[in-house]
Amino acid sequence: MLKQIEGSRAVAEAVAMCRPQVICAYPITPQTHIVEALSAMVKTGDLHAEFLNVESEFAAMSMAIGAAAAGARAYTATASQGLLFMSEAVYNAAGLALPIVMTVANRAIGAPINIWNDHSDAMSQRDAGPA
């Protein structure tokens, strides 16, 4: 049966079907609804995963690296300035060939603060080597 849901919710449901074991989250518009939905699934027990509220995007990817290096399926999501803050760890994740899954919600990079959608965030990390 088809149903209509918010795009972020659809991402969250698809991620949940992949049974991630570690989810690292730091909120940033417009990605927040994805990890909110995942956190609700973890809370209700529909998804068995470690949900880690971290202190920054840099920490989110760093913990995903640690989790993936230990053999866990790791997921995180971010956008815009959050992806830039994460950048150093993104290169390490790619260089270590760790199978981390990340959603980039594609929001323009500031300044000034910009909440419109474009690909300037994802394109900035293109050459880090994520598959």
Partner 1 sequence: MNKQGRTRTMFQVRFHGRGGQGVVTAAELLASAAFREDRHAQAFPSFGSERMGAPVMSFCRIDDKPIRTHEPVTEPDALIIQDATLLHQAELFSGLNDQGYMLVNSTKNVGDLGLDEFIQGFRQDRLLVVPASALAMTHLGRPLPGAALLGGFAALTWAVSLDSVLAAITEKFTGPVAEGNAEAARAAFEFVRDERDALTGQAPAREAQADA
d(CA 119, CA 126): 10
Estimate to the nearest angstrom the gap between the alpha carbon of 77 and the chain centroid: 1
Task: Identify which of residues 1 and 97 has a Cβ nearer to partner 1 in the complex.
Answer: 1
Q: Does the footprint of partner 1 cover residue 111 (CB under 8 A)? A: no
Single residue of 99, 113, 126, 131 touching partner 1 by CB under 8 A = 113
Candidate segments 58-66, 73-81, 93-101, 112-120, binder of partner 1 by CB under 8 A? 112-120
Q: Does the footprint of partner 1 cover residue 4 (CB under 8 A)? A: yes
d(CA 100, CA 7): 21
Task: State how far the alpha carbon of 117 is from the alpha carbons of 14, 25, 49, 81, 128, in Å.
Answer: 22, 21, 30, 13, 21
Q: Which residues bind partner 1 (CB under 8 A)?
A: 3-4, 6, 29-30, 113, 115-117
